[in-house]
Amino acid sequence: MGLFFSDIHIRKNGNISSDSLKDYFIPELQKKGFAVSDEENENTVSLCICCPEESKWISVCTELYDFNTYEEMNRTAGKISADLCTAVLAAACFDSDFLMLDLVSPGSSSDGFLRSGIPAGMKISKRTSLAGFRKYASDFHKLKKAAACDQTFAEQTLLDIAPLIGMTQRQCLLSGDEAEGNDIIRISFSPPESYVKEKPEFRIWHFELMPCQIDRPFCDESVFAVNYGGSSRGIAVMITGDFIEKDELVFENVRFTADRYEKAVDFSKVRDKEGRSMLYWEDRDFRIPPAVPESLPLKKRMDTEFRRIFGIRFRLKGNPRKLLDIRVWFVPLENRQGADCWYVYRYSSTKQAYIAENNSEYPPGSEFYLDPADYDL
């Protein structure tokens, strides 16, 4: 799962401060129908202003910025630069594959532009032009060298040049997990009725059609999902089934994994609204990537989706007769209606029908034959 961000960095001058930017952005959003809110929830949008004392820049991130084109980011940076009479650096990163930076000064349409990586599926024709960065760089030669370096992750280019223009590396990833701290001002807005915030919606990825196994040799069990909706933060994993009440199946060494992300899962046994036992775990900090654009070429779309999957790996012990009863749920905390569930007979009407359909392809003696007598049906 690569990084996505669309941020604005505003050069400090004698008139620019976090308070003055707050006074600037609130009226700008109010003109568009947004209202300052005392609450922050799935129905609000946020704007974060980051002003580290040691930095020469103040950074702004908000869900309302989504720089999918150069023209869009240049228009946004240009307006802010003209309004505030200072330099503005717009930064956009796409799945860690492609980064573009647009530097705009007052009275200039574009002082400098930098691109890094491959903009697969995007029509970005503008080429790198670094001359405008010279007056902000402590070492322009090092900046040019950093800009020309091929990176595995495109955002590394911004991380490398940030110290050279007086910006902290923390500000580079403000839209990621860095929008917390004493130097952050967070403002929540209630959107106008016309604004639609796309909600996350999960789907099980590459549905597994064979049951889990007890102590499967040499490999873990795994279930994965992918998001087909908007990006958000926070996920829950639930396991349901009548085997939980008496611990007839035990899930061991459970890990929640995504690209460059892994966390141990410590399930809690809780009860649902009907009083049935279930296993529950959540990670409120996990950033859920947005859906893969359908406009991407097929191979690129498949590769990108693979990097954005998330799920759990685990080992099983206990009663093998209960294996068909396992249900694994992935739930986006900002839209619980967008949850999806894996259970092995999902595409059959019953467990009996699932076994019959499987055995119509795999007769007795086959590795994949399922004996109905082995399961509680």
What values do phi and psi take at 153, rounded to 5?
Answer: -120, 120
User: Predicted confidence band at 177 (pLDDT cuts at 50, 70, 90)?
Assistant: very low
Q: Is the pLDDT of residue 99 over 80?
A: yes
- 90 versus 292: the higher-pLDDT residue is 90
Average pLDDT of the residues of the chain: 88
Q: What is the mean pLDDT of residues 280-285?
A: 94
Q: Which pLDDT does position 109 carry in this prediction?
A: 65
CA dist 13 and 85 (Å) reads 9
The residues with which 318 forms a beta bridge, in sequence order, are 249
Banded model confidence at residue 195, pLDDT cuts 50, 70, 90: low
Note the pLDDT of residue 90: 95
Q: From start to end of 13-73, where are the E strands?
A: 35-37, 45-50, 57-62
Fold (CATH) for 202-344: Immunoglobulin-like (2.60.40)
Render pLDDT for 309-345 as a digit per residue (tens, 0 to 9): 999 999 999 999 999 999 999 999 999 999 999 999 9
Start-to-end CA distance of the chain, whole Å, equals 39
Structural element, H or E, at residue 361: helix 351-361
Beta strands in the chain (DSSP E): 5-11, 35-37, 45-50, 57-62, 88-94, 98-104, 112-117, 184-190, 202-204, 221-227, 232-240, 249-258, 261-264, 268-271, 277-288, 310-318, 327-332, 340-342
Q: CATH 2.60.40 in the chain, residues? A: 202-344
- Partnered with residue 60 across adjacent β-strands are 8, 49
Q: Cα–Cα distance between 279 and 322 in angstroms, integer? A: 16
Q: What is the pLDDT of residues 55-98, one digit of tens each?
A: 999 999 888 888 888 899 999 999 999 999 999 999 999 878 88
**Radius of gyration of the chain measured on its C-alpha atoms:** 25
Quick check: 183 pLDDT over 90? no
Q: Give me the mean pLDDT over the 154-181 stretch.
A: 83
231 Cβ contact list (under 8 Å, min separation 6): 4, 200, 287, 288, 289, 290
User: DSSP of 261-314, one letter per residue?
Assistant: EEEE---EEEE-TTS-EEEEEEEEEEEEPPPPPTTS-HHHHHHHHHHH-EEEEE
The mean pLDDT of 292-318, rounded to a whole number, is 80
Q: What are phi and psi of 96, to 5 degrees?
A: 65, 10
**pLDDT score recorded for residue 294:** 72
pLDDT of res. 271: 93
